[in-house]
Amino acid sequence: MKKRIVLALYFVITIVPLSMGFGYSLLYSFGLAGFINNGFTMAHWQKLLANSELFITIGYTIYITLVSLFFILTFALLFSWWLVLQKNNFVFNFFFLPLAFPPLIAAFTWYYILSPAGIISRIVYQFGAFTDVNEFPRLVNDYFSVGIIITHVFLIFPLFTILFVQQAKKEQMNSLKETSFTLGSTKAQFFLKIFMPLLLTKTAPLVILYTIFIFSAYEVPLLLGQSSPRMVTVFINEKMTRYNLQDIPQGHAMAVTYTVLIIGITTLFIRNIKTAQ
């Protein structure tokens, strides 16, 4: 009996709100809820698909996610390789610092480092590389979203570096290395064939988790992104909370798309950790 009550309460807090929110957005996107709607219509979805906003937004979000992830994992692998070989504890300590940074503050500080009037631009200016502030390349609110990617890398690569170093210790990487070298492998071979695959497979669930986090990022693209294209969370929020009431259903349609995507990836993720166990 007690267990049933706990189970019921658990569902009420975890699954019910999500289902209710999703249901409302679904109805809204088909014109079946909300005070501006009057009856079933496909118009909102058609509008979202017609000017390719849906694909552009999702595509852009995937671009940011994959590029950020690529740099995060590359840096984390290289630095953990380096820290495992060098055992430099002094530098290792600094990797803990970004873990205490929320995305909002990271985006704010990187804005003042990368913007045309920011620190890097001022340092370059002192060397006489340019005379007008507008000549400095745009690194924030820019076309390639350099600012967003750098901030994501800053926020997450230290965590993966720490994780890889700990995992390497657990796998007794140093004795594996000795053995490989004795058997005649080169450093590069060891890195590519043992170090990298071993760490990436062991931490795969966490990599997927952070892929979802980057895909769902909000504050960083809000501050450092362009007005178009936008990442999916920014898009949804803008459509739903701006003054143009006609845009709200499209926001809901995008929220439905996003939620379906996340539920799909999460289901795969849950299966993945089940098999890993």
Partner 1 sequence: MIKKSLYLVLVTVLVLPVVVMLYLSVVNQWSFPKIFDVSISWRLWADFFSGNTSMLKSVLLSLFLSTIIASTATFFGFFVSQQLSDRPLFIKLSYFPYLIAPVVFGAMLQFYFTLLGLTGSVWGVLLAQVLFVFPYSVLLFSTFWNESVRQTAFQSTTLGATTWEVFSTVLFPMAQPWLYLCFLQCFLISWYEYGITQLIGIGKVETLPIKTMLFIKEANPHLAALSACIMVFPIVSFLIINRQLFAKKEVIA
Assess 259 for contact with partner 1 (CB under 8 A).
Answer: yes
- Name which position in 48, 168, 236, 253 contacts partner 1 (CB under 8 A): 236
* Nearest-approach distance from CB 3 to partner 1, in angstroms: 6
Site for partner 1 (CB under 8 A): how many residues?
Answer: 77
- Name which position in 62, 71, 98, 142 contacts partner 1 (CB under 8 A): 98
Peptide bond into 221 cis (omega under 30): no
Q: Which is nearer to partner 1, 185 or 204 (CB)?
A: 204
H helices present in 87-141, as ranges: 89-94, 103-114, 119-126
- How many whole angstroms separate alpha carbon 247 and alpha carbon 231? 17
- Name which position in 30, 45, 60, 79 contacts partner 1 (CB under 8 A): 79
Assess 179 for contact with partner 1 (CB under 8 A).
Answer: no
- Name which position in 40, 112, 144, 181 contacts partner 1 (CB under 8 A): 112
What is the distance of C-alpha 151 from the center of its chain? 10
Q: Which is nearer to partner 1, 15 or 179 (CB)?
A: 15
Restricting to residues 41-70, name those near partner 1 by CB under 8 A: none
Restricting to residues 132-171, name those near partner 1 by CB under 8 A: 133, 154, 158, 162-163, 166
Show Cβ contacts of residue 170 under 8 Å, excluding neighbours closer than 6 positions: none
Per DSSP, the three-state class of 124 is: helix
- How many whole angstroms separate alpha carbon 277 and alpha carbon 274? 5
Instruction: Determine contact, residues 247/239, Cβ cutoff 8 Å.
Output: yes
Assess 204 for contact with partner 1 (CB under 8 A).
Answer: no
- The one segment of 10-18, 52-60, 174-182, 184-192 that binds partner 1 by CB under 8 A: 10-18
Show Cβ contacts of residue 168 under 8 Å, excluding neighbours closer than 6 positions: 80, 84, 195, 199
Tokens found for residue 236: 């949804």
* Nearest-approach distance from CB 51 to partner 1, in angstroms: 21
